[in-house]
Structure 1
């Protein structure tokens, strides 16, 4: 099925949503371009280092940090839901904050409540699967090219939260419990993402699942990179610290978001080329 046919199908479903009393807007999320993946990985790195910065360096502790970041995320999502179309600044602020919150959710379960990483990994995987099942049952699509109603957007952000929490648990399980180390873990997840891309473009792996699998895998990749850059050399890192690492990646994210706001390079007209992993459900 082509992108044009898929978009037409989604628009028809949007009209059905309108008749059900759900107001449809323009697409609320960016197109899946190279910019998307670069900023996503940067956000996942910030999610790991910023959580460590607030929790450990500033001494807020997991509980206080969770309350503060949860409140900030709620405010950011309020403005995201109020927007009538994709706004790079608001959208990527939500992604940065939800990456931190997803990390904190996983850390609270493992550090404060003593839940094993193997348990949290399977728990978040199940929560994500149930979210996808409910989303598909409600909308008959998991496409991110048609997030035009509040209901779809709610499913989208819930899925994003669980991908970050799942990625945090899976990344910690690989790097710490399996004793692979940070850079080996990063290489492992990078190879897995490459395998997904190869399967998508050579074996015709379903594009919807290609996207979501890659999205989950970028979280432990970014977390492993963040830990490798920020942690002390004695612990297997480069010793840059959470302040330097978080500041550097946030600056790059800000620069890219400003660029996208000015150029709209990640807003691709229907049927245009240049989309990586388009979600034309088959």
Structure 2
């Protein structure tokens, strides 16, 4: 078997990736709340709407023949919004609670990663070079985004740490992951997925800090205004920071002659 280097349809994981990812997760919280609460559509209907948007975006991403930064980040934003409304529906409307919802979603995330590994042999972003790998990638991201929302709400509300406390907790954990990346030989794939999950609750508590009422510890900013500002910052980040596709590898059978 011969290895052939190819370009993936997901971006290279560099610092700008994480900056835009945190902005996208914060947008997911403010936009999800804007639709489900401010517009009064409720969690279930809002989840259905954004689930359709997510499905369309993933289908477009899979059909694309090369990496398109705008399409990729639109798909990520769709996962963060549907993750917000779905987690809120499970935690609040179904009465599962934040701890119960986080436990279920953690199990689903681990099941997705384990299945992906057993089928493909790796859960690294370098393997996202085929339709099968892309499907696993986006399913895993969907579960991670929803889990992150539940973790953020659990920390800020149920544990009573508030939004600033939640920001300190998840920001500190991300710092530990960054130090592990630069100072240890811990699996880069493990660190990637750990950081990917942790950026979601960080964005969730930042979003709640921005738009929740002052008597709940928030700044009471307009959800629509906050969402529009975040969209502008994400667009600016995509334009200012070069968006390069990640390099992957495929195995090809050598041909005779």
Tell me the TM-score normalised to structure 1 length. Answer: 0.83
- Aligned to 1:179, the other structure's residue is in SS state coil
Question: Which is strand-richer, 1 or 2?
Answer: 2
RMSD over aligned Cα, in angstroms? 1.7
Q: Which structure exhibits the higher relative contact order, with contacts defined as CA atoms closer than 8 Å and separated by 6 or more residues?
A: 2
Give a deviation string over 1:181-217, Cα, whole Å, max 9, x none.
0011011100000011112221222111011001100
Q: How far 1:35 moved relative to its partner?
A: 1.3
CA contact (8 A) 2:9 2:246 kept: no
Tell me the TM-score normalised to structure 2 length. Answer: 0.91
Q: Tell me the distance in 2 between the aligned counterparts of 1:127 and 1:133.
A: 10
Q: What aligned pairs does 1:156-235 form with structure 2 within 5 A after superposition? A: 156-235=137-216
The equivalent position to 1:96 in structure 2, one of 49, 56, 77, is 77
Equivalent in the alignment of 1:4: none
Q: How far 1:255 moved relative to its partner?
A: 1.8
Q: Tell me the distance in 1 between the aligned counterparts of 2:246 and 2:38.
A: 41
Q: How far 1:173 moved relative to its partner?
A: 0.6
Q: What aligned pairs does 1:144-155 form with structure 2 within 5 A after superposition? A: 144-155=125-136
Equivalent in the alignment of 2:244: 266
Is 1:82 paired with 2:63?
A: yes
Q: How far 1:147 moved relative to its partner?
A: 0.9
Q: How far 1:268 moved relative to its partner?
A: 6.1
Q: What aligned pairs does 1:101-120 form with structure 2 within 5 A after superposition? A: 101-120=82-101
After the TM superposition, which of the residue ranges 56-65 and 161-170 deviates more from structure 2? Answer: 56-65
Q: Tell me the distance in 1 between the aligned counterparts of 2:232 and 2:215.
A: 27
Alpha-carbon spacing, 1:184–1:140, altered in 2? closer, same or farther (3 Å): same
Equivalent in the alignment of 2:226: 245
**Which ranges in structure 1 are unaligned for 5 or more consecutive residues?**
1-7, 13-24, 271-282
Q: What aligned pairs does 1:7-26 form with structure 2 within 5 A after superposition? A: 11=4, 26=7
- Aligned to 1:63, the other structure's residue is in SS state helix
Equivalent in the alignment of 1:56: 37
Equivalent in the alignment of 1:21: none
- Aligned to 2:122, the other structure's residue is in SS state coil
After the TM superposition, which of the residue ranges 112-121 and 172-181 deviates more from structure 2? Answer: 112-121
Is 1:27 paired with 2:8?
A: yes
The equivalent position to 1:44 in structure 2, one of 5, 14, 25, is 25
- Aligned to 2:127, the other structure's residue is in SS state coil
Give a deviation string over 1:134-181, Cα, whole Å, max 9, x none.
111111111102311010000000110011111111111110000100
**Which ranges in structure 2 are unaligned for 5 or more consecutive residues?**
249-257
- Aligned to 1:28, the other structure's residue is in SS state strand
